[in-house]
Structure 1
């Protein structure tokens, strides 16, 4: 009896330790975010001030929106290097419409059209990426490299490489508006995450997406239209990148084809991976992308707020990605 109890107690204790370890691994991203917040509360002056929180929410929203689309693409077994360039193109097209002669004559209609045109540009760019991958069976990293170069070049041609400054309060609300004190774009990032998280969990598209990312050949043999799933996935990613481009232009009250979206593809990939996306595909943690984006933003903010050079933030992002991939590999063992 005594030995049995000891065995049971030992087994229970071991099980408890294992459960705690598993819990830590499963929630590592969230725990890392909490740790970053606590560290900033201790070492960063004025971290909890309303203005500081507002700035961080504003900056993280753009990363989060693009990271959500990137998470879907990675879940399909692909990657999208063009998101930053698509942001530049969409961000340039929106003010291009309402700054035109037509826009001056019909400002209300021009505002609606400018948003529609920017989102349509993102949609078409995403569909073009998907078409290239499907039609020519080339690697996504190669296919999306085309728009990585061409989309920004087109944006620069449209604007002659110049800054497009505008004054349109209705459009600027996308980037500077607040709802109950919360930045509008942050609310939109959460809305996109909730909607697409539901789509992945509850719809046929979501099941097909994970099947394609897990094993495209098996998915095709089971009757899933792999090409359609990929096309839809890159299209969604393009629309989200287009919206993010509008947000950046609205924040700055100007579009800058040269700088908008620079290195955003790296931030989006980092946020997606840190959020739990598997680079081999088959997993789409949309809410994790939000947390990953917050971690990427807070790492950058922490370094800059404490006098560390901006270049170090790039190194820190690389280290974060390596660690995220390392823990993913160990978890899959």
Structure 2
């Protein structure tokens, strides 16, 4: 079977013929706007990023952040992912205090202000990624911590109206790479319980569920256990290295569990990377699975042995992904 889709590259809409393998779902039309970046840090002091997280420190650098947003938009980016890092304790520059199940007024105002600036800059969509940190992260638990679960769930409930009030199309990631992996029974319980609570209150159209670390083969194998019969309408996978094979592997495992039609957001990938762009383009043609959009992470492949997690701030250049149709 062959289907035609529209790809936006460097501002030009191209009709591309994609071969769809037998039994695969047709590739849906690509979105009318490109992807973009994970915009989490506005500055690096060498490799040190702790006090420069855009949500937590928005009020300290609103002019710089507005300038950087404008630069990313001019560079052809149209979607962003932003993080809300939180823990039960004092703000540390990146993780905000979620004690009591809500951010302090400053944190709430910072999130609202950042979203307003993203909308003002002309971005089409945003993913807000919740990052429970330290003791709020169920991967740190040796036994079930009901108070921490409740704090995290109350926080998500308090964030939802702030995000919705921005008037910007959004998806909420309930836990960055928090899909349970092999032998993570507490994380799986956490995911199942939070997914059931979230969908009962808010439905499933504005969430990707929990993003998947696509380079951990154990995570994708638990997706069916995590969501049961209430599948997210869209899913978010992070892939670094051997992008073609990793995408095909994850697509195959999703299909085996009955996840056949959901478009994928590539929520994280190497920064402005030609090899990654080519691998993803080939993989979506092979599998027939639409990549709805891609948001690069501010980490270069070449710098993999230097700064451990982030080596670019701000993540302005998107040329390689734009050239490949993302």
* Bigger RCO of structures 1 and 2 (CA < 8 A, at least 6 apart): 1
TM range (shorter): under 0.3
Q: Which has the higher helix share?
A: 1
Query: Normalising to structure 2: TM-score of the pair?
Result: 0.23
Larger Rg: 1
Q: Which has the higher strand share?
A: 2
